[in-house]
């Protein structure tokens, strides 16, 4: 991937990988059985750390690495496609931070400005038992070379997920308002009123 290539989002927080089942306090029930996927941790591989500088960016990441059998979920109370099988994977649970050097905003001071703090929760197919090697493969890809398009893709991936979450929340709020306004209209004018409901 050339640093001049168009940046594509890189997602390091994968919502289709369910948490693994853990003991819960008395009286608390898990909702994981209502999803069609599964995450079964087989063993802890180790802990990986990644620190690299490229151009004006500094990338710091760390993650616990597990070997896991993962069946990604397709949603709440849905059925998996016929023949879906768990994938032997390396599962990463950690975090990533990105800083950018230059003039610190609002000052004339040169330094590094914190621009991203994201959760790492994703997987790659199981290959290496070395957690350091695995984390580098996750972030850099197979060629193990940090390029500007990768850093920008990671930033874009988290921004895309944030925008999508904000859009979903906005739609949910609008729908709740609309439902409440319709309920008010019906309670005021009756369910089958000829008075039009305008939203």
Q: Which helix (H) or strand (E) holds 161?
A: helix 148-189
Q: Does position 47 have pLDDT exceeding 90, yes or no?
A: yes
User: What is the percentage of the chain residues whose pLDDT exceeds 90?
Assistant: 48
Q: Backbone phi, then psi, for 160, in 5-degree steps?
A: -60, -45
pLDDT, position 74: 82
Q: Which helix (H) or strand (E) holds 63?
A: strand 57-71
Which of 27-31, 94-98, 106-110, 139-143 has the highest average model confidence (pLDDT)? 94-98
How far is Cα 98 from Cα 117, in angstroms, rounded to an integer? 7
The structure's pTM equals 0.76
- Is 154 domain-assigned? yes
- Is 160 domain-assigned? yes
- Is 81 domain-assigned? yes
Query: What is the domain count for the chain?
Result: 1
Write out pLDDT tens, residues 135-188. Answer: 999 999 888 787 889 999 999 999 999 887 776 665 655 555 555 555 656 677
- Is 119 domain-assigned? yes
Region 32-38: mean pLDDT is 81
- Is 194 domain-assigned? no
Strand order in the sheet with 87-103: 38-54, 57-71, 87-103, 110-125
- Is 146 domain-assigned? yes
How far is Cα 147 from Cα 10, in angstroms, rounded to an integer? 13
> By residue range, what is the domain housing residue 134?
32-189
How far is Cα 46 from Cα 129, in angstroms, rounded to an integer? 9
* DSSP tag of 76: B
Q: Which residue has the higher pLDDT, 34 or 169?
A: 34
Burial (CB < 10 A; 0-12, 13-18, 19+), residue 114, is: exposed
Q: How confident is the model at residue 29 (pLDDT cuts 50, 70, 90)?
A: confident
- Is 21 domain-assigned? no
- Is 13 domain-assigned? no
């Amino acid at each position: 991937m050339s640093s001049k290539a168009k940046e594509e989002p890189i997602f390091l927080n994968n919502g289709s990988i369910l948490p693994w089942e853990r003991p819960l306090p008395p009286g608390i029930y898990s909702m994981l059985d209502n999803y069609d996927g599964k995450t079964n941790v087989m063993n802890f591989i180790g802990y990986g750390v990644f620190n690299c500088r490229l151009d004006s960016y500094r990338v710091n990441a760390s993650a616990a690495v597990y070997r896991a059998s993962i069946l990604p979920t397709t949603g709440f109370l849905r059925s998996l496609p016929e023949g879906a099988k768990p994938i032997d994977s390396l599962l990463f649970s950690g975090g990533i931070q990105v800083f950018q050097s230059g003039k610190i905003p609002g000052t004339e001071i040169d330094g590094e400005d914190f621009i991203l703090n994201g959760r790492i929760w994703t997987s790659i197919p199981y290959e290496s038992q070395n957690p350091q090697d695995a984390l580098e493969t996750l972030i850099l890809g197979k060629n193990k070379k940090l390029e500007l398009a990768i850093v920008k893709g990671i930033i874009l991936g988290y921004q895309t997920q944030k925008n999508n979450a904000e859009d979903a929340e906005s739609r949910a709020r609008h729908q709740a308002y609309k439902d409440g306004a319709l309920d008010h209209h019906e309670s005021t004018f009756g369910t089958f009123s000829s008075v039009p409901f305008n939203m």
